[in-house]
């Protein structure tokens, strides 16, 4: 299976081969700050299964994670492990944003208080 997507302006395109390792909502404070929202909904793929083309930039949000965004339009695309292992691709950047469905919530200990989680998905206070 191949999934494809890109940024708002179309100058950054990505392709992921195979199935994701997991798909879910991340409620950690780093994702909240990086996304400017209450969570980051992403599909995690091994980095060696993802190719990225275009004018993008990386920002180290921690010693373990880089945030990748389009240098032209600013679209936040990925959270990428600095060790080269995996990357979380934002589901909203998929060409078909309905291609994958989240299966869990993680880091709910940091969930914003005004957000109700009543979708029936498993909730993990920290990393599952």
pLDDT per residue as tens, the chain (128 positions): 999 999 999 999 999 999 999 999 999 999 999 999 999 999 999 999 999 999 999 999 999 999 999 999 999 999 999 999 999 999 999 999 999 999 999 999 999 999 999 999 999 999 98
Q: What is the pTM of this model?
A: 0.94
Is beta strand 2-6 parallel, antiparallel or unpaired with respect to 13-17?
antiparallel
> Could you tell me if residue 87 is inside a domain?
yes
Residue 26 corresponds to which tokens in the numbers above?
A: 């991340």
End-to-end alpha carbon distance in the chain: 25
**Would 122 be classed as within a structural domain?**
no
Rounded to whole angstroms, how far apart are CA atoms 95 and 90? 11
Residue 75 is predicted with a pLDDT of 97
Task: Give the CATH number for residue 41.
Answer: 3.90.1590.10
Decide if 81 is inside a domain.
yes
Q: Looking at the domain assignment, is residue 117 inside a domain? A: no
DSSP labels, 72-107: TT--EEEEEETTSSEEEEEGGGBSSTTSS----EE-
Structural domain harbouring 55: 2-110
Look at residue 128 and tell me if it is in a domain: no
Return the beta strands (E) in 1-128 as ranges. Answer: 2-6, 13-17, 22-26, 40-46, 50-53, 56-60, 65-70, 76-81, 86-90, 105-106, 123-124
Q: How many domains does the chain have?
A: 1
Residue that has been written with the tokens 């993680």 in this structure: 106
The verdict on residue 127 lying in a domain is no
């Amino acid at each position: 299976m191949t999934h494809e997507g890109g940024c708002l302006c179309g100058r950054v395109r990505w392709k992921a081969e195979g199935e994701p390792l997991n798909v879910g909502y991340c409620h950690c404070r780093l994702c909240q700050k990086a996304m400017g929202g209450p969570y980051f909904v992403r599909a995690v793929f091994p980095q060696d299964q993802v190719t990225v083309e275009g004018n993008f930039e990386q920002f180290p949000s921690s010693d373990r994670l880089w945030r990748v965004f389009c240098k032209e339009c600013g679209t936040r695309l990925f959270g990428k492990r600095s060790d080269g292992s995996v990357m979380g691709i934002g589901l909203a950047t998929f060409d078909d944003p309905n291609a994958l469905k989240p299966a869990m919530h993680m880091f709910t200990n940091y969930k914003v208080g005004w957000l109700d989680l009543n979708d029936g998905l498993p909730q993990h206070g920290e990393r599952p």
